[in-house]
Chain A
């Protein structure tokens, strides 16, 4: 659509577009190849999960919550389980907490590997996605062995995890993370220190540091502005208070800084996983709740949150004392990023930089529309 005396063009980018993360579309106004504004549209992946969950038993919602973010399902399972445990007052055995932390970090690692493929692929650096998707697959092999599934694991349960680690699993985890760590310098040469990558991302989509608190920006996007907000440290859950890790920050406030934060997060995750394997005690892994088909949760409400790869992920769960939840509301980091923040970043941007920005913000539409 062309208007204002043929100067401005309205264009839809997405919902099916290789440069957009998932099924969302952006209605943009262009003047030449410069953006004037953007309106985000979601709904292409709306599966009414929150409505569905109100009609199901608590236990039946586990196959739903993991689908709220496809590449990072375990954070959702973990949050949902933690919310139920808090409302019911269910204790989790210590070993189960360590295993859950291990699962969360493996989840983060595979998500970050996939993200490298995403950002490099958007710029036409075709080799990196081939490598990083392979490395992600090695982590998925571990999940397959542990849970029986590669993508949606349904492994975390209220009161613990479904089963203990298989024999020799720790050694295989170490082998996989050693292998990924060994390849990191290659990723640096290929992507993060690549001249094209730097030229395209340094100074792109500069975020004003004051927007972080104003809009509610979180995760690597906030930490790329030097903002030290990491829920793993600020409100520790599972066993994060027993682990030593860095809060990784950069000061550039641009897409390159976001990329550097994520690159260093890979090393951080590897460091955490090694500590977990080192410190994990023996013991029970599941304090089973009563018969889950008749499981009623006492009246109450809670909000639990975790540091997902994209930022703050939270579950607001309300129980009315019956065997089904009254309300479950999922807070994804992508909502403020894909709407308010993006609208502020876009004016004046070149059309070819748009996809790089979207992948840099790592927006995930299913967690916006659920």
Chain B
């Protein structure tokens, strides 16, 4: 993976890097460089398979992390390319033109995090939710309990706020036996 990393570094600016396993590299790049790097990786380095596009909400840093997981069929190497985008103004671009399967992953990220993928004409279509009118549900500030109480009401008999106490209670009794 060291050679691959050196080759990428020759042409592009890498913000951060980590060799995870002997065939698994993680690199962090600037949002502006991402598309060029993906094109380079697909056509010059043979990373033809986009296994997944994922998003992570770093609410405390006001950032979204977008992660592209790639695989090289020939050299059998994994590569994660990640970038951070502004959480408040979450505009990004599509990579459908490079990886056609990104269309669906982008649709999902759009629905679950509200990231706008410029150039993806089908991103507004529903993925798993229908007529969702709250904030995107996978964002860390989406209050699941509040949503649940508003839409489904309260279940009084079901109070499990401190799961550790409950589990300890059971395991202690079990140990006594």
Contacts and interface: CB of A to CB of B under 8 A. Distances in A.
Contacts of B105: 335
B73 A229 contact: yes
Contact of A327 (B26, B54, B73, B76): B54
A207 to B, nearest CB: 14
B134 to A, nearest CB: 13
B52 A42 contact: no
Interface in A292-313: 293, 301-303, 305, 312
Interface residues on chain B, size class:
35 or more
6 contacts: A43-B128, A48-B144, A51-B144, A293-B168, A303-B24, A340-B100
B126 A43 contact: yes
A331 B51 CA distance: 7
B48 A55 contact: no
A303 B52 contact: yes
A318 B23 contact: no
Interface string B65-78: 10101000100101
A235 to B, nearest CB: 6
Given A235-B23, A301-B26, A340-B103, A48 B137 contact: yes
A278 interface: no
B138 A51 contact: yes
Given A293-B164, A340-B104, A318 B51 contact: no
Interface in B120-177: 126-130, 137-138, 140, 142, 144, 163-164, 167-168
A318 to B, nearest CB: 5
B101 interface: yes
B9 interface: no
Given A41-B126, A301-B26, 4 more contacts: A55-B144, A60-B163, A316-B67, A335-B104
Interface of B: 20, 23-24, 26, 48-52, 54-57, 65, 67, 69, 73, 76, 78, 80, 99-101, 103-105, 126-130, 137-138, 140, 142, 144, 163-164, 167-168
A184 B42 CA distance: 42
Interface string A191-213: 00000000000000000000001
A44 to B, nearest CB: 9
Nearest to B142: A51
A331 B80 CA distance: 14
Contact of B49 (A216, A301, A316): A216
Given A60-B163, A214-B100, A293-B164, A235 B138 contact: no
A314 B51 contact: yes
A331 B127 contact: no
A200 to B, nearest CB: 29
Interface residues of A, number: 37
Interface string A210-232: 00011110000000000001000
A319 B55 CA distance: 13
Interface string A43-57: 100101011001101
Contacts of A229: 73
A302 to B, nearest CB: 6
Contacts, number: 89
Contact of B52 (A293, A331, A368): A331
A213 B49 contact: yes
Interface string A29-51: 00000000000011100101011
Contacts of B130: 43
A159 to B, nearest CB: 18
Nearest to B49: A216
A292 to B, nearest CB: 9
A235 B77 CA distance: 9
A278 to B, nearest CB: 28
B20 A340 contact: no
Given A51-B138, A303-B80, A369 B128 contact: yes
* Closest 3 pairs (CB-CB, A-B): A43-B128, A369-B128, A329-B54
A71 interface: no
Contact of B48 (A57, A213, A301, A369): A213
A189 interface: no
A326 B129 CA distance: 22
A340 B127 contact: no
A235 B78 contact: yes
Contact of B128 (A42, A301, A305, A340): A42
Nearest to A44: B128
B101 A312 contact: no
Nearest to B82: A301
A22 interface: no
Contact of B73 (A42, A213, A368): A213
Given A51-B138, A327-B56, A340-B104, A216 B26 contact: no
Interface string A348-370: 00000000000000000000110
A42 B126 CA distance: 9
